[in-house]
A and B are shown apart, each in its own frame.
Chain A
């Protein structure tokens, strides 16, 4: 299940199950969104991205859904594996007049039980 407290929100899933990680973004002008995976002691690693003119994009075992009406982004991981255990960040960018900066959301820790 998912827990939110004083620390990083954590999602615990069983190996083989599907995972859904959610993110709320704040800037309605954002037109590009990325999901990053960060393993302990490493930098963020690109997983999948989506532009604001789309509402769904699929990759290998991952799907990103974008709901601009409620400013919500989700990452779905199919058949979650122990190697998927990490912290997942959504990030948003705005390219209006090329003034964009990549801004990160709060992050969710995914823990996969074998």
Chain B
């Protein structure tokens, strides 16, 4: 298995809702990442996990809460989001943080209404 799987593919949520994005990989990678991508813009790094520990939080608002329950899973919990948080959320993984290549999932298209 050489894929990063993200679910759901699409999500519409209200500003008072709580939802979660899920990311899964079975390549034995020990570094996992969340990126946010707005339309016509490059992906921007949000969080980095290394060996299931949060390594980097790129000044992301607390309404985004990451979780890495085990080496194969990465979640992003969403609460009280704003319409401007609507974007494509991409998950990626690499063997370790010192590895050069990242494998990306197809993303979750999030719309906040």
Asked if B45 and A45 sit within 8 Å, CB to CB, the answer is no
Chain A residues positioned under 8 Å from B92 (CB to CB) = 43, 102
Whether B43 contacts A44 by the Cβ 8 Å rule is yes
Q: Identify A43's interface contact among B42, B90, B100, B101, CB under 8 A.
A: B90
Question: Which residue of A8, A42, A95, A100 contacts B40 across the interface (Cβ within 8 Å)?
Answer: A8
> How many interface residues does chain B have, given as a range?
20 to 34
Contact B45 A101 (CB under 8 A): yes
Question: A25 contacts which chain B residues (CB < 8 A)?
Answer: none
User: B102 on the interface (CB 8 Å rule)?
Assistant: yes
How many of chain A's residues have a CB under 8 angstroms from any CB in B? 25
In the complex, what residues of A have CB within 8 A of residue B106's CB? 41-43
A95 proximity list for chain B (CB < 8 A): 98, 100
CB-based contact A49/B100 at 8 Å:
yes
Which of A43, A105, A107 has the most chain B CB within a 10 Å cutoff? A43
Check: A7 CB closer than 8 A to any chain B CB: yes
Residues of B within 8 A of A93 (CB): 100
Cα-based distance from A1 to B43 in the complex (angstroms): 25
On chain A, the residues within 8 Å of B101 by CB distance are: 34, 46, 49
Residue B48 interfacial (CB < 8 Å): yes
Q: Is B45 within 8 A of A102, CB to CB? A: yes
**CA of A57 to CA of B104, assembled, Å:** 23
Are A45 and B100 in touch, CB under 8 angstroms?
no
Q: Is the CB of B43 within 8 A of A104?
A: yes
Q: Is the CB of B90 within 8 A of A44?
A: yes
**A66-91 interface code vs B (CB 8 A; 1 in, 0 out):** 00000000000000000000000100
How far in angstroms is the closest Cβ of chain B from A85?
15
| Contact of B40 with A44 in the complex, beta carbons under 8 Å | no
The reply to whether the CB of B30 lies closer than 8 angstroms to some CB of chain A is no
Closest chain A residue to B96, Cβ basis: A98
